[in-house]
Structure 1
């Protein structure tokens, strides 16, 4: 049994550390430009790795299991509540098309990367499912796939380190592209031109502070957000449990039947699907609730802390370099497909870059980039379109994970 300053059964203290450090990470991201540049998620992760590798907190505890069991399922519907289904096409038709094409780039990149590296990286079928879902949706999809495929904690941590490092590098690259003459000569850049003409300014001290502006929220908003999310979790998990037992699976049935079981018997996919259905059926109800995205994002920060805790530094040094190659191939293929299709379909450079960003980093990083660059007309549409990735990411990740498992 590992010797640490705080014991695995000291539940109150461990919960406190997770919540306090997640809160501190959000504060640092919104207060200081250096933290905003590397993102609060990476701040949360690095802090957790330091705490566990210096013997302050244990690498395993029932508290961490509770985050996976309760917090992640609750965060998924909360982050979907603000999606306005009808507006996705009405206001964001152009961005939606290039976003979906960019998603195809992610899938192509994952497939190429998997077959190049499957003999060199452990459990790459599970990691491929996680990263394909993450590079279409975001961290919430990464969490759902990690839980669904029961990926070993130390490999999840190594993947997160590689993933976040690549996202940070990619974010910088995307920010630089509009200033490069090669791209400016080959693509239309109306939003860049507008900013350079001095007609638009950027508000806020950091990207995060500008994005997460204060809004009105009542006790009723909190009650409806959390209560509705819990209800969706209960119903969807029970339905998925029933379908999982009703639909056969295993080595003695066909790949198609296994795929059907994986899709309809999976509690995270059922949760995503059920949330999507109620959003379409009761749009006014969800539009009237404030704060669900904020609550869901805070819960995801708890997840970022927890996935950093079991990280073994030697294992990351051993595995992260190859995982970095894995995610590098994915983003290169994604950007190549996005730029090529965007050029052929005569998209603006800003639309292409934001669509790729929304795939790889999620809607919030894409919105943050739009805010940072001063492309204010694109902030709302990319946020709406990017949230579609939350919905389709789990389906893509599940399908690829089940397919890849046959090659491991």
Structure 2
């Protein structure tokens, strides 16, 4: 374990850093034009990455696990309170198509990476199988497929470190792409254009204009946070119940496994329950002020955590070739996504979020949509990204078994 100035069990200091740096990132984004162009999410991620690589904060801690387990689930319902379910299904259809195209890019990257590196990395078929599932449905699949292939612990840990660094770097790239003139000239970006048009003409800082001061009461805070906790509790308990009732694993047939993947997945259940509740009690939720602001702040904490595990020294010491593998897979995912996205006239935001959902999963894609202000795409990418858990599991297993023959 690499020494760090702040120890993994220094919980209050780490929470102070996560919450404080998220707040500073938001302040810089709204105070300075350069920070607004870079975005607070990138500032949050890069700041954490630098401190982790300078060994000031640890790359692993129970505090970070708490963010994944509690902060992210609470943010999701808060950001769906103003959601129109009819519009969601229209957007989800388009996102599903580009998501599947991005998945093909992952598979092509897996094939290319395996045949280029199979003579240099022992048990590479296990890694490629795991990473194919991970880069279609997110890191949740990596854990399941590593158990399926019985991947050795040292190989698994090195792969995770390479994956963390690659994801952090790729998210930075995806965050910057919508601001680059090269992409804006070649792809239609209606959501980004809508945000830019809605900003005050006299306001140079887009973030400050978008997140203007709004009227909010103690009642709003109480109803927003209380409703979010209730929705998460009910959804997660329902998912646990279905997961225990519906067979899954190697002994279950395809129908049961797929059904368990849909009903037993906590995030998909949370999104579904929230959307149904918000639709049935739309007037109640629409009158709650400040939910989007609270949810977005929680997502900024999540962005800080994403940057933490990207340890460059560990990569250089243990996993340089594994980093080459994940780079090939991510690069081909991106290339295929943007080539066919252009060919089939997808919006820039849809391409970016679909690729993000492939590589990082629904939570990172939703976090990006939130940080960019593409609020109408938050629920659709959560739904599509969560379906990637099931798709990625099967494709990753098939790829691993196929390459195992070599």
Q: TM-score scaled by structure 1?
A: 0.75
Distance in 2 (CA, whole Å) between partners of 1:53 and 1:364 is 23
Please state whether the residue corresponding to 2:347 is helix, strand or coil: helix
Select the residue among 316, 323, 326 that pairs with 2:326. Answer: 323
Once the two structures are superposed, what CA deviation does each residue of 1:199-244 show, in whole Å capped at 9, x if it has no partner? x985533333233233222222221221111111111111111211
- Cα RMSD over matched residues? 3.8
CA 386–14 in structure 1, closer or farther in 2 if over 3 Å, else same: closer
Distance in 2 (CA, whole Å) between partners of 1:28 and 1:121 is 44
Equivalent residue, structure 1, for 2:17:
17
Equivalent residue, structure 1, for 2:362:
none
Distance in 2 (CA, whole Å) between partners of 1:49 and 1:282 is 41
Equivalent residue, structure 2, for 1:347:
none
Any stretches of 5+ residues in structure 1 without a counterpart? 134-141, 193-197, 343-350, 370-378
Equivalent residue, structure 1, for 2:101:
105
CA 208–122 in structure 1, closer or farther in 2 if over 3 Å, else same: farther
| 1:349-388 superposed matches below 5 A | 352-360=347-355, 383-385=375-377, 387-388=379-380
Equivalent residue, structure 2, for 1:307:
306
CA 177–69 in structure 1, closer or farther in 2 if over 3 Å, else same: closer
Distance in 1 (CA, whole Å) between partners of 2:169 and 2:14 is 26
**Residue 162 of structure 1 contacts residue 323 of structure 1 at CA under 8 Å; is this kept in 2?**
no
Equivalent residue, structure 2, for 1:334:
337
Distance in 1 (CA, whole Å) between partners of 2:276 and 2:18 is 33
CA 70–358 in structure 1, closer or farther in 2 if over 3 Å, else same: closer
Please state whether the residue corresponding to 1:330 is helix, strand or coil: helix
Distance in 1 (CA, whole Å) between partners of 2:324 and 2:387 is 28
Equivalent residue, structure 1, for 2:203:
204
How many residues align? The count is 365
Please state whether the residue corresponding to 1:102 is helix, strand or coil: helix
Equivalent residue, structure 2, for 1:239:
238
CA 329–156 in structure 1, closer or farther in 2 if over 3 Å, else same: closer
| Residue 171 (structure 1) aligned with residue 163 (structure 2) | no
| Residue 294 (structure 1) aligned with residue 293 (structure 2) | yes
Distance in 1 (CA, whole Å) between partners of 2:87 and 2:389 is 25
Q: TM-score scaled by structure 2?
A: 0.75
Please state whether the residue corresponding to 2:231 is helix, strand or coil: helix
**Residue 30 of structure 1 contacts residue 209 of structure 1 at CA under 8 Å; is this kept in 2?**
yes
Distance in 2 (CA, whole Å) between partners of 1:233 and 1:191 is 28
Any stretches of 5+ residues in structure 2 without a counterpart? 119-123, 147-155, 357-364, 401-406
Segment of structure 1 superposing worse, 238-247 or 40-49: 40-49
